[in-house]
Chain A
Amino acid sequence: MRSGRKKEWSILLFVACLIAFMPPVLRIINSSQLLFGIPISYLSMFGIWGAAIVLTAIGARRRDRTPAVPLPAGRSADDAQRGKK
């Protein structure tokens, strides 16, 4: 029932990271050559990881304009209800 962009966004990120961290793509970035004195694999792994964290943080932002009261159950309750138990 919890629908809305938030959910789609997090699934998109999940799939994107899955692709980045699984073999076909992993083979490309998994290189021990140095770039600016730092291994490419080390740089790219932490880079993708950090980017995923930033994008998650953006996706999880609370939108200020959402009403503070809980929406009726069954609707897109994605922001307002979370604050309430």
Chain B
Amino acid sequence: MSGGLVLTVSFLYLGLLFAIAQFVDSQAKKGRHLTRNPYIYTLSIAVFCTSWTFYGSVGLAATRGLDFLAIYIGPTLVFLLWSVVWVKIVRICKGHRITSIADFIASRYGKRAGLGGLVTVIAVVGTMPYISLQLKSIASSFRILVNSPETSLLDVSNQSILPIDTTLVVAVALALFSILFGTRHIDASEHHEGLVAAIAFESVVKLVTFLTVGIFVTYGLYNGFTDLFAKAEEAGLSSLFRISGDGGYNVWMTMTVLSMAAIICLPRQFYITAVENPDESYLRKTTWLFPLYLLITNIFVLPVALAGRLAFQGGPTDADMFMLTVPLVNDRGALALLSFVGGLSAATSMVIVASIALSTMVCNDLIMPLLLRSKWLNINKNDDLTGLLLTIRRVSILLVMILGYAYYLIASESYSLVMIGLVSFAAAAQFLPALIGGIFWKGASYRGALSGLALGFIVWLYTLLLPSFAQSGWLPVSFIENGPWGIAFLKPYSMFGMEGFDRLTHALFWSMLVNIGAYWVVSLMSQQTAIERIQGTLFVDVFGHTDDDRDSRYWRGSATVADLQQLVGRFVGVQRVAQAFTNFAAERDINLRKGQTADAAMLDFAEKMLAGAIGSATARVMMGSVVKGEIVGLDEVYRILDETSQVIEYSHRLEQKSAELERATGQLRNANERLKELDSLKDHFLSMVSHELRTPLTSLRAFGEILVDNPEVSLAERSQFLNVIIKESSRLTRLIDQLLDLARMEAGQMDWSLDTVDMAATAHEAMATLAGLLKENDVTLTLDLPEGLPSVRADRDQLIQVMINLVSNAIKFCDKSNGRIHVTVAPAEDVLTVTVTDNGKGIAENMAEHIFEKFHQSLDSSEDKPQGSGLGLAICREIVTFLGGRIWVASPKKGGASFSFTVPRSDRSDLRLSAE
């Protein structure tokens, strides 16, 4: 096959990718989001399947049987736990505008640049072998395709087709492609829809091509699975049908654990799953779609591997390339080309996403903090830095790719594809303790994470990376065989004499031991700062805090809106920031003025926006340069975040509420009792009133009937009867009048004629009216009127009514045989006090309050029925109160009752016209 054809196909394919990305991006600008669905999201996560899956799995299956499955069962296990792990991580990323795994870890442990930088270094060094793996696979597949026919199949020469090394060309091409792809926008936390679409497309391509080759091998070369397995068994390959569990399944378990860690911690997986996630709810489908994708991909791995082994029986061959060589050896050039495109798509998707994720990390967590520290940026304080950011990212992509190429040159020949990949996985696994611990353990501290990561990374370097250099001859081989300087217990593949394990298990054990150990112990021994404490709580309790903005604000200083806008604008672009601030103000319904001091919510918003562009650690430093003042102290943090205090406050509020409730209940109970009382009073009154009404009515009717039935009644008797009728009807009228008066007074419809009234004259007139009654009952009345009484302001008729009521009451209740009533009028400061005292049996203490209420009768068991309607005193009280005085009753020691009331004096100018 000509190199030109293969190159043309490759570039056409890359061009197609670019066209897809452009198309989707342009649609997104118009508001049509083509990638916003769980299927595209799942396919983008399938970036996990790289050329390692495409070529390496087959290679591994051809030598170790089903071992390769561990790499896919591990991620499946993690996705089973989606609701525990992924939902939490995605929620946190959205809430804090996390841009990468370095940003995530740095943000969790107090937004310190040191930790982000360390994570970035580990990620870059750890991904280096992985990228070299992709370069290696592209380069070898290219060579195989071009060097066919058969002669060169078995022994692939390194002779280059192009004037320079093919792999370097591939590396540079991929770097340029990634730069064009990934660094068009500055805000890294924004969704790159074009990128996601292209990656999803690549996932489809690699799946379809793999299935095509698999089906061709299984059903084209053989008659299905059973035939293939039977032939392989005949050829003595049945050991490949199973997991090579000879070492007690160490390798299997190690690979499972590593791949579980990798699906979360590989920078590109974290980026595409958590940062590029458009909607949390997509996880619901992805959680089973992604494992399904892995399952389908792997169905034909073993058949292709077996077919390869059968085809190249005995001959030395690179099992990693069976995907190409099996079709080629059967003269299926087109199929091999298709397979090459599948491998190319697998490799490019990984390289693109990884380099974009890494470049973001390098820029935000490594370069920017260093630039800030060097004070270089402060000189040009007002420059627009968006261009600088983009440049840094582009250079980082190139750098990452060159590092990958360098590793390829140095070490990649010493390991198989799978082994190279696993070395990378082991590096990524170092993030796992800090990441998982960070979202489940509030107490994990910055120092713990830093020391765990550093130690784990050092052990990884020593036990996996350096030996690969040694194997390639860049370090003396004695380094592996005898240990450094001949110290046997430091041999990198058997530290402290730990023999009998494969390199990977050995490295994983030691690195995880020191990593988790240091993370745990140091966390327990070190103090958390305020921000660590806040971030820890925000991360661990993310579901509790999502809707509660209050808790994420820890800035206490002040900065103006203009300052903030300018700061964020330098990194994100002035226009976009202006737009964002306007939206923010509109959402919260506030009016932003330039000189206004930004509140906590505003500061938080600005910081998160900044974090989206330059990472949380750098963003915090930048914010610190603008915000004057401190961040909140530890005490306040505890106050804000501590669950205990929240609970206490809550229960305090609960107590208050219950006290209020109790009070209300008490009031209700009182009101209820009062109602019952009034009800019984009303019943009593009704029965009494009806009785009162019936008595005169009965006598009226009786006398009327007598007069009608007996026309011969004498004139004297007749007139006597008629007098009774008149008396009874006038009594009836009085009763009804009283009722009406009271009703009118209570309703405020009484016609009052307030005037200046001479008290002495009024008293005399009242007594005159009562003279008949007094005489009839044989009661002596003494009137004590001092000379020169001042006049009062009152309604004269009503005043007389009050006195009549009181005196007639006194007549009713005074001593029957020797009745005496004493009326006095005494001037006081503002009022005149009128007192009516009788010598009756008096009024019980407990009745003094109630006696003025209407319908209330001074009941006495010794009497048949109460006298009067029970309205007299109630009317008195209404009148006196209206006139601005008060009325009360006292029980003098010598017996009897003493009713007093006051009337305002008219000569006092400050008349209390309370009723008006």
B389 an interface residue at 8 Å Cβ cutoff? no
Contact A73 B545 (CB under 8 A): yes
Q: Mark A7-29, 1 if CB is under 8 A from B, else 0.
A: 10011011001100111001100
Contact A85 B284 (CB under 8 A): no
Contact A70 B547 (CB under 8 A): yes
Contact A53 B241 (CB under 8 A): no
Interface residues on B, range: 35 or more
Question: Which residues of chain B from 279 to 306 have any CB-CB distance to chain A below 8 Å in the complex?
Answer: 279-281, 283-285, 287-288, 291-292, 295, 298-299, 302
Question: Which residues of chain A from 30 to 85 have any CB-CB distance to chain B below 8 Å in the complex?
Answer: 30-32, 34, 36-39, 41-42, 45-46, 49-50, 52-54, 56-57, 60-62, 70, 73-74, 77-78, 81-83, 85
Shortest Cβ gap from B234 to chain A (Å): 12
Contact A53 B288 (CB under 8 A): yes
Contact B256 A21 (CB under 8 A): yes
Residue of A nearest to B226 (CB): A37
A-B pairs with beta carbons under 8 A, tally? 135
Contact A50 B547 (CB under 8 A): no
Q: Mark B228-261, 1 if CB is under 8 A from A, else 0.
A: 0110010000110111010011001100100000
The B interface is mostly helix, strand or loop, or mixed, namely: helix
Contact B225 A38 (CB under 8 A): yes
Task: Name the segment of B69-77, B379-387, B606-614, B864-872 touching the other chain.
Answer: B69-77
Q: For B288, what are the chain A residues with a Cβ–Cβ distance below 8 Å? A: 53-54, 56-57, 60
How distant is the Cα of A21 from the Cα of B233 in the complex, in angstroms?
25
Contact A17 B80 (CB under 8 A): yes
Shortest Cβ gap from A47 to chain B (Å): 11
Task: Name the segment of B81-89, B346-354, B450-458, B512-520 touching the other chain.
Answer: B81-89
Q: For B545, what are the chain A residues with a Cβ–Cβ distance below 8 Å? A: 73
Contact B544 A1 (CB under 8 A): yes
Q: Among A1, A34, A53, point to the contact of B233 (Cβ < 8 A).
A: A34
Contact A36 B239 (CB under 8 A): no
B886 an interface residue at 8 Å Cβ cutoff? no
Q: For A56, what are the chain B residues with a Cβ–Cβ distance below 8 Å? A: 79-80, 82, 287-288, 291
Contact A60 B242 (CB under 8 A): no
Q: For B241, what are the chain A residues with a Cβ–Cβ distance below 8 Å? A: 32, 34, 39, 41-42
Q: Among A38, A50, A61, A81, point to the contact of B229 (Cβ < 8 A).
A: A38
Q: A10-B82, A32-B242, A34-B229 are in contact. Are A23 and B248 (CB under 8 A)?
A: yes
Contact B87 A46 (CB under 8 A): no
B796 an interface residue at 8 Å Cβ cutoff? no
Contact B295 A53 (CB under 8 A): yes
How distant is the Cα of A85 from the Cα of B90 in the complex, in angstroms?
10
Question: Which residues of chain B from 657 to 705 have any CB-CB distance to chain A below 8 Å in the complex?
Answer: none
Shortest Cβ gap from A17 to chain B (Å): 6
Shortest Cβ gap from A59 to chain B (Å): 8
B94 an interface residue at 8 Å Cβ cutoff? yes
Q: Among B230, B256, B291, B547, point to the contact of A73 (Cβ < 8 A).
A: B547
Q: A2-B543, A34-B233, A82-B87 are in contact. Are A26 and B245 (CB under 8 A)?
A: yes
A residues neighboring B (CB under 8 Å): 1-2, 6-7, 10-11, 13-14, 17-18, 21-23, 26-27, 30-32, 34, 36-39, 41-42, 45-46, 49-50, 52-54, 56-57, 60-62, 70, 73-74, 77-78, 81-83, 85
Interchain Cβ contacts under 8 Å between A and B, 18 examples:
A10-B81, A10-B84, A13-B80, A21-B77, A22-B249, A26-B252, A31-B242, A32-B241, A34-B230, A34-B241, A38-B229, A41-B66, A46-B298, A52-B291, A73-B543, A73-B545, A81-B543, A82-B281
Known: A1-B541, A30-B243, A45-B73; 12 extra A-B contacts, CB below 8 A, are: A1-B544, A7-B84, A23-B249, A26-B245, A32-B242, A34-B230, A42-B66, A50-B295, A54-B288, A57-B287, A60-B83, A60-B287
